[in-house]
Structure 1
Amino acid sequence: MKNPVLDIIHQRRSIGKLVLPMPNQDELDAVLNAAMVAPDHKQLKPWRFTVLTDEALTAFGQVLLAAAEAKSDGVLDEPTRQKLLNMPQRAPMIITVATDIKEHEKVPPFEQLLSAGAAIQNMLLAFESLGYHTVWRTGPLCNAPEVKTYFEVADKDTVCGFVYVGSSDIKMPCRDEQDLGDFVTYRHR
Structure 2
Amino acid sequence: MNTQEILDFIQSRRSMGRLLAPAPNAEQLKQAVSVALTAPDHKQLNPFRFVVLENQALDNLGLALHQATLDKGDTDETALQKAKMLPKRAPMIIACVTDYKNHPKVPEFEQLLSAGAGVQNLLLALQAQGFASVWRSGDLMNSQAVKQFFNLTDNNQVVGFIYVGMAGAELPPRKAVNTDDFLTFY
TM-score of the superposition, structure 2-length normalised? Answer: 0.95
From the superposition, tell whether residues 92 and 158 of structure 1 become closer, same or farther in structure 2 (CA, over 3 Å): same
Q: Secondary structure of 1:42's match?
A: helix
CA distance in structure 1 between the partners assigned to 2:177 and 2:26 by the alignment: 37
Structure 1 unaligned regions, length at least 5: none
Amino acid at match of 1:10: Q
**Partner residue of 1:70?**
71
CA distance in structure 1 between the partners assigned to 2:20 and 2:168 by the alignment: 9
* 1:78 Cα deviation from its structure 2 partner: 2.1
Amino acid at match of 1:104: H
**Partner residue of 2:167?**
168
Q: Secondary structure of 1:136's match?
A: strand
CA distance in structure 1 between the partners assigned to 2:12 and 2:146 by the alignment: 32
> Is the CA contact 1:48–1:97 (under 8 Å) kept in the aligned structure 2?
yes
Runs of at least 4 residues off by over 3 Å: none
Amino acid at match of 1:18: L
* 1:135 Cα deviation from its structure 2 partner: 0.4
Superposed CA offset, 1:129-161 (max 9, x none): 111000000111010011011101111112110
Q: Secondary structure of 1:167's match?
A: strand
**Alignment: residue pair count:** 185
Q: CA RMSD in A?
A: 1.3
* 1:171 Cα deviation from its structure 2 partner: 1.4
**Partner residue of 1:140?**
139
Superposed CA offset, 1:20-65 (max 9, x none): 0111111011011111111101100000211000110011100000
TM-score of the superposition, structure 1-length normalised? Answer: 0.94
Report percent identity of matched pairs: 46
Q: Secondary structure of 2:167's match?
A: coil
